Chain A
Amino acid sequence: SQQGEEDPQALSIQEGENATMNCSYKTSINNLQWYRQNSGRGLVHLILIRSNEREKHSGRLRVTLDTSKKSSSLLITASRAADTASYFCATDNIDRDDKIIFGKGTRLHILP
């Protein structure tokens, strides 16, 4: 798999349910970030988790990071229609502090 690869590729859930998206990566990282993108629009930064952190919360978002498995998950609780978007994880590389690498994203669709 590629650096920062999410699964599932697409997810449809009922409004009010929780949505979980996963991300795997290959290299050692300094931090991992999750972004949201509404269709055809810009990237909105959601949350950054450092490599020495295991869990982080922001409102209805919960992100976990397991550096031993090189994986992260994004949980959106009590989903809303407005959460419909694509979600990307992005990782840096511990040896370089410039670029971040995005995964292909998970397309989340919240059904009314």
Chain B
Amino acid sequence: EPEVTQTPSHQVTQMGQEVILRCVPISNHLYFYWYRQILGQKVEFLVSFYNNEISEKSEIFDDQFSVERPDGSNFTLKIRSTKLEDSAMYFCASKRRALVRDYEQYFGPGTRLTVT
């Protein structure tokens, strides 16, 4: 069964450094998402992406964050200058389509980001 994959599984970085989290969504999916989960807290929406542009973003997704689909398969989340509070599990998700509003989002296994 196709699945969303994410790399790396764990990333340790120093405060102020740039990180890029990578995701490969399911191949025939058109909608892509990033969520994050700070340890012990709930999963929070960051951004959605469709047709090569951001369709919605949350308050968390400030100027330090950016997303890109550099080729036909990868979907990346970049944090330009990491802060301690960016430490979290980051989940990528994809969905086949949204015109029929009953398709589930498939989540990747997550990347645990630790900022020291």
Residues of A with Cβ closer than 8 Å to B? 30-31, 33, 35, 40-45, 48, 50, 88, 90, 92, 96-105
CB atoms of B48 and A99 under 8 A apart: yes
| Contact-residue bracket for chain B | 20 to 34
* A-B Cβ contacts below 8 A, count: 58
CB atoms of A104 and B98 under 8 A apart: no
The dominant DSSP class at the A interface is strand
Q: A96-B56, A102-B42, A104-B41 are in contact. Are A33 and B31 (CB under 8 A)?
A: no
Q: Does B45 contact A (CB under 8 A)?
A: yes
The dominant DSSP class at the B interface is strand
Residues of B with Cβ closer than 8 Å to A? 31, 33, 35, 41-45, 48, 50, 55-56, 58, 89, 91, 98, 101-102, 104-110, 112
